Chains A and B, each alone.
Chain A
Amino acid sequence: EAGVAQSPRYKIIEKRQSVAFWCNPISGHATLYWYQQILGQGPKLLIQFQNNGVVDDSQLPKDRFSAERLKGVDSTLKIQPAKLEDSAVYLCASSLMSGGNTEAFFGQGTRLTVV
């Protein structure tokens, strides 16, 4: 089966600019996650979707970050405006369901550098 697709793979922007990341989960997976992984640390959850509804966005910096999952399939994560500390790898993952005994499948991630 096709895996989780993310684009772009790399992005370099200046601070205060805007950026958007795209994720296409595995077909049929109801749950979609966005994680932020700063170098040397573990992935930190930003937002979890169940179909097209938000389940958990408690750690999403809503003053600058936004995410949507239209039609319960693809998702986009936007940062506006970006700060230097947003430099990280942004990982998208999907799973068949949440709360159950299922694994998450990860994309290759988007490496963002803010200069």
Chain B
Amino acid sequence: SQQGEEDPQALSIQEGENATMNCSYKTSINNLQWYRQNSGRGLVHLILIRSNEREKHSGRLRVTLDTSKKSSSLLITASRAADTASYFCATHLSGNTPLVFGKGTRLSVIA
């Protein structure tokens, strides 16, 4: 079963705008990760946030984690056409458990 659920399923914005995607999960986690997938390609890791962290930044990416609400958000600032892709959250529970992915958000950035 899938642990994470991204919201919205699809998002279309103009170049230069900010894009926010949300992820909700069901059980306690060790860490939460965000991945990007361009059409027809493999997934690329963007950022990892541990359960004891609340916010992380990487370039134009900002990720927040609220363990009390079991939710995370990914903010992409000043979006570019090249950011057009599907974005997935993935959770790592604990111990030797696998990485479990959500269904993803399809982001379209229009130039």
Task: Point out residues on A near B: beta carbons under 8 Å.
Answer: 4, 33, 35, 41-45, 48, 50, 55-56, 91, 93, 95, 98-99, 101-109
Q: Which residues of B contact A45 (CB under 8 A)?
A: 98-101
Give the number of chain B interface residues (Cβ < 8 Å): 26
Contacts known (A42-B88, A91-B42, A108-B42); A48 close to B98, Cβ less than 8 A: yes
B30 partner, pick from A43, A44, A101, beta carbons under 8 A: A101
Q: Which residues of A contact B30 (CB under 8 A)?
A: 99, 101
A48 to B50, CA, bound (A): 22
Q: Check if B82 is an interface residue, CB within 8 A of chain A.
A: no
Q: Check if B59 is an interface residue, CB within 8 A of chain A.
A: no
Q: Is the CB of A33 within 8 A of B42?
A: no
Q: Is the CB of A99 within 8 A of B97?
A: yes
Q: Which residues of A contact B104 (CB under 8 A)?
A: 41-42
**Chain A residue nearest to B92 in the complex (CB):** A99
A35 to B100, CA, bound (A): 10
Q: Is the CB of A103 within 8 A of B101?
A: no
A/B interface sample: 22 pairs, CB < 8 A:
A4-B42, A42-B2, A43-B88, A45-B98, A45-B100, A55-B98, A95-B99, A99-B30, A99-B92, A99-B97, A101-B48, A101-B92, A103-B45, A103-B48, A104-B33, A104-B43, A104-B45, A104-B99, A105-B45, A106-B42, A108-B41, A108-B42
Q: Which residues of A contact B99 (CB under 8 A)?
A: 33, 45, 93, 95, 104
**Chain B residue nearest to A6 in the complex (CB):** B42
Contacts known (A99-B92, A101-B48, A106-B44); A56 close to B97, Cβ less than 8 A: yes
**Shortest Cβ distance from A1 into chain B, in angstroms?**
14
Q: Is the CB of B98 within 8 A of A98?
A: yes
